[in-house]
């Protein structure tokens, strides 16, 4: 490419970015999604959300926007109750059954396992007990995912699991226990305020009994992915994806309405500069992330990993002012993201270590270099999901300016990836990185350690 060609290319991108500053399409998609009754994986609301995403892709000028179905296990929440009885009283606490919790009635003693880390669970007797664990992890340790805590509690012989939000506000949290299959023991989320009482009652174990009732069911169902393409007709392509599903207890504005809206905004800019993209770009809105990365798994099964130049997983972007980049063990992706953000005069926070709990994972474990675009929470925020996975995940928490800016940064990163070769990830090296981070025991407990990894 000559200097004149580069100048013309840069001018075209600059004009498209300029128009993006007044584009409200991302906010409009977010509004449409958050107006739905819910977007739980496999539900009618999630199906309608897929149609809205397809319409947004078509309106953006993307080619051949379509919806493909895949099979999944549809979990439906019923009622749940947690009752604590002492010698002098009986109290009920508000609960929310966690996705893929089995139905059941359990009675036993309460055992507070603190943050639910493996060491804390190993230090107590959970046989036949109801484990009570926090949603967060101390800042000086690797964040331990809910699925890990549940899996360790199951292995320790617990009869039930109670997940306590560390964020105050009478907000019971939700979150899947297993990937696309029913868990072993009933599990519910409770608020921080209820959790405080449960810790108190656990300390009086000699005269306290708890009874947990969960009504839920799992049936055969279907979900869907939304696909579209743009750019040059090359054999290889950059894959940009975001999940559009959400838990059924809130609007799912932050998680991940912001992410799919950011992708829709980026798609409009990319379509406007399609002629300067040096490889094909495939855009996807995937379903059922919240209950097991099921849409991403179905998409990965349909694609040749050797044809994917890189994956850009937009899960968490658009929520807060600054972009947070998970480069998942790729130094080249980390450097490229830093260069893009620096060139745009935008701050970026890097996280180089890989993790398996978002839609990049089916591709990363196959060696595809993958970057996740998230948001850096405001200083002073508690560690964890904040409003996410609660009824407080609503549209009023979103600033439309963040959607626009993150869509622009996503566009610039994707544009660079169409013309920059990034080395694949050595699977043995990825495995070792996860082992070094002490992920293996938790992933095995959660049932997600890849088959074939010894």
* Residues 6 or more apart in contact with residue 268 via CB below 8 angstroms: 20, 23, 25, 60, 61, 407
Give the separation between CA 273 and CA 290, rounded to whole angstroms: 33
Among residues 155, 187, 217, which one ends one of the domains? Answer: 217
For the chain, how far is it from start to end, CA to CA, in angstroms? 47
Burial class (CB in 10 A: 0-12, 13-18, 19+), 143: middle
CATH of the domain at 166: 3.50.30.30
Burial class (CB in 10 A: 0-12, 13-18, 19+), 29: buried
Residue-wise pLDDT for 113-126, tens only, equals: 999 999 999 999 99
Q: 363 pLDDT band (50/70/90 cuts)? A: very high
| 137 and 210 fall within a common domain | yes
Instruction: Provide the mean pLDDT of the chain.
Output: 94
| 85 and 207 fall within a common domain | yes
In a domain, 441, yes or no: no
Q: What are the φ and ψ backbone dihedral angles of 228, each rounded to 5 degrees?
A: -160, 160
CATH of the domain at 11: 3.40.630.10
| 67 and 167 fall within a common domain | no
Burial class (CB in 10 A: 0-12, 13-18, 19+), 1: exposed
Structural domain total, the chain: 2
| 69 and 82 fall within a common domain | no
Residue-wise pLDDT for 385-436, tens only, equals: 889 999 999 999 999 999 999 999 999 999 999 999 999 999 999 999 999 9
| 176 and 279 fall within a common domain | no
| 346 and 426 fall within a common domain | yes
pTM listed for this prediction: 0.94
For the cut 80, the answer to whether the pLDDT of residue 1 exceeds it is: no
| 136 and 227 fall within a common domain | no
* Residues 6 or more apart in contact with residue 291 via CB below 8 angstroms: 40, 41, 42, 72, 75, 99, 100, 176, 179, 180, 245
Ramachandran bin of 382, using left for φ above 0, alpha for ψ from -120 to 50, beta for the remaining angles: beta
Write down the pLDDT at residue 242. 98
In a domain, 452, yes or no: no
| 191 and 275 fall within a common domain | no
Residues belonging to the chain: 454
Range list of β-strands (E), 1-155: 63-85, 90-93, 96-97, 104-108, 110-112, 130-134
| 137 and 36 fall within a common domain | no
In a domain, 454, yes or no: no
Residue-wise pLDDT for 336-350, tens only, equals: 999 999 999 988 999
Give the separation between CA 273 and CA 446, rounded to whole angstroms: 43
Token digits for 223? 């979900």
Which residues on adjacent β-strands are paired with residue 353?
none
Write down the pLDDT at residue 9. 62
In a domain, 297, yes or no: yes
Token digits for 127? 């046989």
| 81 and 68 fall within a common domain | no
Q: What is the dihedral of CA 318, 415, 20, 33, to 10 degrees?
A: -40
- Starting at the edge strand that comes first in sequence, how are the strands of the sheet with 130-134 ordered? 96-97, 187-190, 160-164, 130-134, 110-112
Q: 5 pLDDT band (50/70/90 cuts)? A: very low
| 35 and 168 fall within a common domain | no
* Residue keyed to tokens 């508000």: 94
Degrees, nearest 5: CA angle 86-91-95 = 130
* Residues 6 or more apart in contact with residue 399 via CB below 8 angstroms: 321
Domain residue limits at 318 = 3-73+220-436
What are the Cα distances from residue 119, in Å, to 57, 137, 376, 444?
A: 47, 12, 29, 16
Among residues 217, 242, 277, which one ends one of the domains? Answer: 217
In a domain, 294, yes or no: yes
* Residues 6 or more apart in contact with residue 196 via CB below 8 angstroms: none
| 59 and 105 fall within a common domain | no
For the cut 80, the answer to whether the pLDDT of residue 10 exceeds it is: no
Residue-wise pLDDT for 180-220, tens only, equals: 999 999 999 999 999 999 999 999 877 899 999 999 999 99
Residue-wise pLDDT for 251-305, tens only, equals: 999 999 999 999 999 999 999 999 999 999 999 999 999 999 999 999 999 999 9
Write down the pLDDT at residue 184. 98
In a domain, 42, yes or no: yes
Among residues 183, 217, 251, which one ends one of the domains? Answer: 217
Q: What percent of the chain has pLDDT over 90?
A: 87
Residue-wise pLDDT for 59-80, tens only, equals: 999 989 999 999 999 999 999 9
For the cut 60, the answer to whether the pLDDT of residue 247 exceeds it is: yes
């Amino acid at each position: 490419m000559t200097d004149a060609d580069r100048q013309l290319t840069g001018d075209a991108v600059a004009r498209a970015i300029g128009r993006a500053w007044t584009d409200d399409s991302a906010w409009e998609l977010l509004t449409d999604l958050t107006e739905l009754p819910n977007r739980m994986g496999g539900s009618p609301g999630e199906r309608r959300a897929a149609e809205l995403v397809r319409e947004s892709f078509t309106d953006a000028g993307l080619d051949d926007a379509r919806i493909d179905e895949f099979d999944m296990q549809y979990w439906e929440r019923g009622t749940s109750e947690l009752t604590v009885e002492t010698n002098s009283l009986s109290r009920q606490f508000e609960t929310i059954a966690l996705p893929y919790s089995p139905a059941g009635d359990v009675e036993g003693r309460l055992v507070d396992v603190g943050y639910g880390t493996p060491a804390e669970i190993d230090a107590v007797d959970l046989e036949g007990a109801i484990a009570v664990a926090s949603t967060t992890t101390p800042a000086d340790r690797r964040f331990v995912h809910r699925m890990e805590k549940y899996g360790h509690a199951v292995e320790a012989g617990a009869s039930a699991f109670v997940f306590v939000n560390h964020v105050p506000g009478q907000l019971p949290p939700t979150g899947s226990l297993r990937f696309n299959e029913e868990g072993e023991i009933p599990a519910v989320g409770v608020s921080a305020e209820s959790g405080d009482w449960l810790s108190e009652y656990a300390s009086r174990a000699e005269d306290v009994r708890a009874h947990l009732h969960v009504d839920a069911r799992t049936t055969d169902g279907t979900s869907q992915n939304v696909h579209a393409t743009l750019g040059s007709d090359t054999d290889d392509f950059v894959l940009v994806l975001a999940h559009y599903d959400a838990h059924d207890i809130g609007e799912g504005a932050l998680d991940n309405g912001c992410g799919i809206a950011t992708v829709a905004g980026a798609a409009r800019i990319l379509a406007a500069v399609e002629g300067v993209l040096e490889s094909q770009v495939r855009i996807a809105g995937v379903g059922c992330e919240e209950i097991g990365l099921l849409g991403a798994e179905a998409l990965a099964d349909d694609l040749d990993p050797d044809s994917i130049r890189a994956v850009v997983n937009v899960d968490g972007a658009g929520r807060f002012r600054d972009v947070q980049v998970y480069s998942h063990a790729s130094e080249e992706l980390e450097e490229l993201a830093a260069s893009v953000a620096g060139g745009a005069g935008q701050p970026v926070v890097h996280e180089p270590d890989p993790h398996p709990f978002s839609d990049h994972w089916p591709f990363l474990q196959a060696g595809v270099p993958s970057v996740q675009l998230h948001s850096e929470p405001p200083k002073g925020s508690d560690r964890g999901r904040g409003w996410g996975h609660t009824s407080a995940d609503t549209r009023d928490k979103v600033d439309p300016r963040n959607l626009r800016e993150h869509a622009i940064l996503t566009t610039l990163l994707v544009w660079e990836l169409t013309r920059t070769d990034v080395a694949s990830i050595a699977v043995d090296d990825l495995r070792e990185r996860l082992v070094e981070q002490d992920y293996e025991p938790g992933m095995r407990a959660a049932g997600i350690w890849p088959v074939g990894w010894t």
